[in-house]
Chains A and B, each alone.
Chain A
Amino acid sequence: MVELTVKDVALRLGDNEILKGVTVSVPAGQVVALLGPSGSGKTTLLRAIAGLETPYRGSIAIGERTFFDAARGIELPAEERGLGLVFQSYALWPHRTVFDNVAYGLKLRGVSAPEIKTRVEKTLSQIGLGHLAARFPHQLSGGQQQRVAIARALVYEPPVILLDEPLSNLDAKLREEARAWLRTLIVTLGLSAIHVTHDQVEAMAIADRIVLLDSGVIAQEGSPTGLYNEPTTMFSAEFMGSNNRIEGKLVENTGARATIELFGERLSGIGRTKTAIGEKATGIIRIERVRCASSPGPNRLKMQLKAPMYLGERWELVLARENMTVRAYASVPMDPGEYYVEFPSDALWVF
């Protein structure tokens, strides 16, 4: 098994600098999620790996095989890279049956007809669509089409499979099922995969490692837990999860710990800032970590609770003081009024 390496890839589309030097590696058997908001360059990076876009700098290789190297002037066309790509729109060929869609890659590789038949049937049964081989794509549901698209990319056993937001065209319920199914499939087949998504929950559920992109550069990369629990930049702290933003003045900074002051009270948290003492600083905290108490205490602020909102499995509280609002969850309904909102110091990051 081999490793896919992307080194310092930079890419322009027209005048827009889409990628500004991205380095990523995908070890064999790992699933890497490229996560980021729209315009962060995640799909472009995937297309550059597939050979559908041409970077102007950097290199892309799989093991010893160089796909692209700007310095050495190497560019392997997409068809010679032997990767599997699943498109966001599935891109199933409407003029071919499910069988022919899946068989095409094998046909191009000169595989004999009987072997094509066995391998396509095996792949189709792996994805649970063995009985639909004779259908045309428009006769399938969205979820089935998505599976055919995956089968088409898997059938010739590519070293890495590239998935471009494969679940985004499914409706919410189906997406959660497909997510679990896809993860199981990738793990049981022992595939290496790059999965592009803008949905952080999907990225955390499916990937071994997440690469978070922000306007063409990597904001942070690491395991899902690392990214969620230990953000190193404000962008990654805010991108993952649902958050509260607290603006204050930096009053203390030891590097590992930092304290901000607002409304004359102090909140201490994990230090992530190089700002000078006395300057403005921002505290970020996940909504689910905010707690409402009835009495004052350390790292607590007095705030007014407005009408709570019922969300089904819990209540969402909106608390305010002057022009600052904070959101929190509660498992039981709470009456409007004055509360002391606690921001636990191990959950508050100060940037």
Chain B
Amino acid sequence: MPIAVYRLLVLGLTTLAVAAPLSLVIYQSFLTAPFFDPSAKFGLLAYFFVFNDPDFWQAFWTTIAIAAGMAAIAVPLGALLAFLMVRTDVPGREYLEPLILIPIFVSAVVIAFGYVVAIGPVGIFSTLAKDILGFVPWNLYSLLALIVIAGLTHVPHVYLYSAAALRGLSSDLEEAARVSGANPFRVAFNVSLPMILPAILFAGVLVFFLGFELFGLPLVLGDPQDVLVLSTYLYKLTNKLGVPSYQLMAVVVVAIIAITAPLVFMQRLLLRQAQRYVSVRGKGLKTQPLRLHGWRWFAFGGIMFWLFITVVVPLFGITLRSFVVTWGEGVKLLDVLTLDHYRELTDYPNVIRGIINTLGIGVIGGAVAVACYTAIALAVHRWNSGWTRLVDYLVMVPRAMPGLVAGLALLWVFLFVPFLSPLKSTMVSIWLAYTIVWLAYGMRLVSGTLLQVGPELEEAARTAGANDLRVKRDVTVPLIKYGMLASWLLVFLIFVREYSTGIYLLGPGTEVIGSLLVSLWGTGAIDLVSALSVVNVVMIGVGLAVAVRLGVRLHG
């Protein structure tokens, strides 16, 4: 097979996989009824309905408020955290990094459940506080709490990009400020952080964008107060009219994408800017850590406090809850300890299937997904053509579709295309949805690995007599083997964590832990939810431990 055929095939399939769901959503949004309804006609009826619904606008403004609020919290904290971790001698830096990244890898619904059972009205910490103080000094079910929790759990995202930028700065700039008489925090605010402003700006836009993707936290924490965001509004719309109101959902999806697509594009521009800004790079860079002296333990305490609130409280809460019969005021821990919830898991065949499916989608699905990402990356690798730009933009498109939305769009594709329908209730549908949703992420992992292959290694094979495809098979792929393995591990982690993409595809045979958790939470089965959450966290923990052990960089 000549290389041109290979490229055509790969690009054609990628375009199809990306464009089909998107165009179906847009098409559906202009119909007056679901696309399978014979009475469906073209029209703007659905747009009129949604844009005249006060709930939609309420959800829209709430989403903006949450996205802005969480960026306002996550950006300064994340940048400061990066400064402390990268540029100073905070104790235990090397052990802290994987802990800091935990909120990225743990499912947001699990964290949300954790907060409910830990600091909800009758949560473990709430009852403790009530015993001591006589009242509960916080209210979990408020917009403010939602913003604070969303902000704190997104600190690692800002941390990652700020830390990467800080690693590219020469430390003599900071030493000069220190010698001039600035204390470490003045150095951070006057020298280091201003220098990485473009990276911080990028992270800010990223967090704002992630605010529109937020689903698990507002679903769990906003529901009791009827706080709706766009994604939960979309989710509730399913049941709003009693009949499948696909046209309305399509309009909401179009509205969400209309906001997220420019944000994705903006991120791309900003990232390029940020990379240009860091002029000093590579070898010979002095990275002497800044000595904090007396501030060392103060800074360490600050990081620990953040970790306690963001990681320990929810994970401890959900773990403890999974081992007790009940919880409330006056309950003594030793009286209620039990393993029953884990035993009960086995009583539900769908839960058992969910656990097996989750492992399967992580291990096998992850491997096949990495193979697909590699196939696309190889198609454009060393291809001197304008088409590579098209691929760049193509893989960005799914990024603008939050998981919930992409899952819905994929569901419609499976309903719409006759020969695909039988696959709808198999794990193939879940796998396809996951692979498309994480296309941009996976491509970044694989392309990053490919960048490290020296072009002369491939040219040497060309002159020895190997054609393009042979070069890829004999030289390029063997050389990126370890990078692909690392990508597999990271994709495993996100596939196991994923909860929103599978929600609309959930059915007998397509259960995964994430979407099961959301649906079980709706039925109030808190015992089951806690136990299943812990199972999910353990899977991710094992994956993370393996990754750290193998020295895989946790950020692509």
Task: Verify if A2 is at the interface (C-beta below 8 Å from B).
Answer: no
Apart from A77-B468, A85-B460, A89-B454, what 14 extra A-B contacts exist at CB < 8 Å?
A: A50-B459, A51-B463, A78-B459, A79-B463, A79-B466, A81-B463, A84-B463, A91-B459, A92-B460, A95-B479, A95-B481, A105-B464, A108-B470, A109-B465
Residue of A nearest to B465 (CB): A108
Collect the chain A residues with CB atoms within 8 Å of residue B415's CB: none
Q: Contact: B459 with A87, CB < 8 Å?
A: yes
8 examples of A-B residue contacts, CB within 8 angstroms: A50-B463, A52-B463, A79-B462, A79-B466, A83-B463, A91-B457, A93-B478, A104-B464
Collect the chain B residues with CB atoms within 8 Å of residue A152's CB: 460, 464
Q: Contact: B454 with A91, CB < 8 Å?
A: yes
Collect the chain B residues with CB atoms within 8 Å of residue A92's CB: 460
Closest 8 CB pairs of A and B: A91-B456, A105-B464, A78-B462, A85-B463, A91-B460, A108-B465, A95-B478, A87-B456
Collect the chain A residues with CB atoms within 8 Å of residue B270's CB: none
Task: Verify if A67 is at the interface (C-beta below 8 Å from B).
Answer: no
Collect the chain A residues with CB atoms within 8 Å of residue B481's CB: 95
Q: Is the interface of A mostly helix, strand, loop or mixed?
A: loop
Measured CB to CB, the closest approach of chain B to A343, in angstroms, equals 45
- What does the 1/0 interface line of B23-51 toward A look like (CB < 8 Å)? 00000000000000000000000000000
- In the complex, A231→B440 CA distance in Å? 59
Q: Contact: B479 with A94, CB < 8 Å?
A: yes
Task: Verify if B467 is at the interface (C-beta below 8 Å from A).
Answer: yes
- In the complex, A156→B456 CA distance in Å? 19
Measured CB to CB, the closest approach of chain A to B128, in angstroms, equals 57
- In the complex, A52→B464 CA distance in Å? 12
- In the complex, A304→B481 CA distance in Å? 67
Collect the chain B residues with CB atoms within 8 Å of residue A51's CB: 462-463
A44-97 contacts to B, CB under 8 A, are 50-52, 77-85, 87-89, 91-95
- In the complex, A108→B454 CA distance in Å? 21
- A91-B454, A108-B470 as given contacts; A79 in contact with B465, CB under 8 Å: yes
- In the complex, A51→B465 CA distance in Å? 11
Task: Verify if B261 is at the interface (C-beta below 8 Å from A).
Answer: no
Collect the chain B residues with CB atoms within 8 Å of residue A89's CB: 454, 456
Task: Verify if B461 is at the interface (C-beta below 8 Å from A).
Answer: yes
Residue of B nearest to A84 (CB): B463
Collect the chain B residues with CB atoms within 8 Å of residue A91's CB: 454, 456-457, 459-460
Measured CB to CB, the closest approach of chain B to A88, in angstroms, equals 8
Residue of A nearest to B471 (CB): A79
Residue of A nearest to B456 (CB): A91
Q: Contact: A93 with B457, CB < 8 Å?
A: yes
Measured CB to CB, the closest approach of chain A to B10, in angstroms, equals 20
- In the complex, A79→B465 CA distance in Å? 4
Task: Verify if B474 is at the interface (C-beta below 8 Å from A).
Answer: yes
Residue in B459, B463, B481 with the greatest tally of chain A CB atoms within 10 Å: B463
- In the complex, A92→B479 CA distance in Å? 12
- What does the 1/0 interface line of A253-280 toward B look like (CB < 8 Å)? 0000000000000000000000000000
Q: Contact: B465 with A156, CB < 8 Å?
A: yes
Task: Verify if B475 is at the interface (C-beta below 8 Å from A).
Answer: yes
B437-461 contacts to A, CB under 8 A, are 454, 456-457, 459-461
- In the complex, A209→B481 CA distance in Å? 45
Taking Cβ atoms with an 8 Å cutoff, the residues of A that contact B are 50-52, 77-85, 87-89, 91-95, 104-105, 108-109, 152-153, 156, 162
Measured CB to CB, the closest approach of chain A to B445, in angstroms, equals 20
Collect the chain A residues with CB atoms within 8 Å of residue B460's CB: 85, 87, 91-93, 152
Q: Contact: A104 with B462, CB < 8 Å?
A: no
Residue of B nearest to A155 (CB): B464
- In the complex, A80→B462 CA distance in Å? 9
- A93-B475, A94-B479 as given contacts; A108 in contact with B466, CB under 8 Å: yes
- In the complex, A89→B454 CA distance in Å? 10
Measured CB to CB, the closest approach of chain B to A98, in angstroms, equals 14
Collect the chain B residues with CB atoms within 8 Å of residue A82's CB: 465
Residue in A91, A108, A156 with the greatest tally of chain B CB atoms within 10 Å: A91
Residue of A nearest to B481 (CB): A95
Measured CB to CB, the closest approach of chain A to B432, in angstroms, equals 32
- A91-B454, A91-B456 as given contacts; A77 in contact with B479, CB under 8 Å: no
- In the complex, A81→B463 CA distance in Å? 7
- In the complex, A108→B475 CA distance in Å? 13
Collect the chain A residues with CB atoms within 8 Å of residue B479's CB: 93-95
- What does the 1/0 interface line of B195-213 toward A look like (CB < 8 Å)? 0000000000000000000
Measured CB to CB, the closest approach of chain B to A146, in angstroms, equals 13
- In the complex, A136→B138 CA distance in Å? 63
- In the complex, A167→B232 CA distance in Å? 66
Collect the chain A residues with CB atoms within 8 Å of residue B465's CB: 79-80, 82, 105, 108-109, 156
Measured CB to CB, the closest approach of chain B to A156, in angstroms, equals 7
Residue of B nearest to A149 (CB): B460
Q: Contact: B454 with A52, CB < 8 Å?
A: no
Collect the chain B residues with CB atoms within 8 Å of residue A50's CB: 459, 463
Collect the chain A residues with CB atoms within 8 Å of residue B457's CB: 91, 93-94
Measured CB to CB, the closest approach of chain B to A161, in angstroms, equals 10
- In the complex, A156→B464 CA distance in Å? 8
- In the complex, A208→B464 CA distance in Å? 26
Contact of B459 among A52, A108, A156 (CB under 8 A): A52
- In the complex, A291→B256 CA distance in Å? 85
Q: Contact: B478 with A78, CB < 8 Å?
A: no
- In the complex, A50→B461 CA distance in Å? 12
Collect the chain B residues with CB atoms within 8 Å of residue A85's CB: 459-460, 463
Q: Contact: A77 with B459, CB < 8 Å?
A: no
Measured CB to CB, the closest approach of chain B to A191, in angstroms, equals 16
Collect the chain B residues with CB atoms within 8 Å of residue A88's CB: 456
Collect the chain B residues with CB atoms within 8 Å of residue A79's CB: 462-467, 470
Residue of A nearest to B460 (CB): A91
Measured CB to CB, the closest approach of chain B to A188, in angstroms, equals 23
- In the complex, A91→B471 CA distance in Å? 14
Collect the chain A residues with CB atoms within 8 Å of residue B468's CB: 77
Measured CB to CB, the closest approach of chain B to A109, in angstroms, equals 6
Collect the chain A residues with CB atoms within 8 Å of residue B461's CB: 93, 104
Measured CB to CB, the closest approach of chain B to A14, in angstroms, equals 11
Collect the chain B residues with CB atoms within 8 Å of residue A83's CB: 463
- A85-B459, A94-B479, A95-B479 as given contacts; A77 in contact with B467, CB under 8 Å: yes
Collect the chain B residues with CB atoms within 8 Å of residue A80's CB: 465
Collect the chain B residues with CB atoms within 8 Å of residue A162's CB: 463
Residue in B457, B459, B460, B461 with the greatest tally of chain A CB atoms within 10 Å: B460
Measured CB to CB, the closest approach of chain B to A9, in angstroms, equals 18
Residue of A nearest to B467 (CB): A79
- In the complex, A162→B460 CA distance in Å? 11
- In the complex, A52→B470 CA distance in Å? 16
- In the complex, A88→B459 CA distance in Å? 12
Collect the chain A residues with CB atoms within 8 Å of residue B464's CB: 79, 104-105, 108, 152-153, 156
Collect the chain B residues with CB atoms within 8 Å of residue A87's CB: 456, 459-460
Residue of B nearest to A105 (CB): B464
Measured CB to CB, the closest approach of chain B to A78, in angstroms, equals 4
- In the complex, A51→B459 CA distance in Å? 9
Collect the chain A residues with CB atoms within 8 Å of residue B462's CB: 51-52, 77-79
Residue of B nearest to A81 (CB): B463
- In the complex, A105→B464 CA distance in Å? 5
- In the complex, A80→B457 CA distance in Å? 17
Collect the chain B residues with CB atoms within 8 Å of residue A105's CB: 464-465
- In the complex, A51→B470 CA distance in Å? 17
Residue in A79, A81, A153 with the greatest tally of chain B CB atoms within 10 Å: A79
Measured CB to CB, the closest approach of chain A to B214, in angstroms, equals 44
Residue of B nearest to A80 (CB): B465
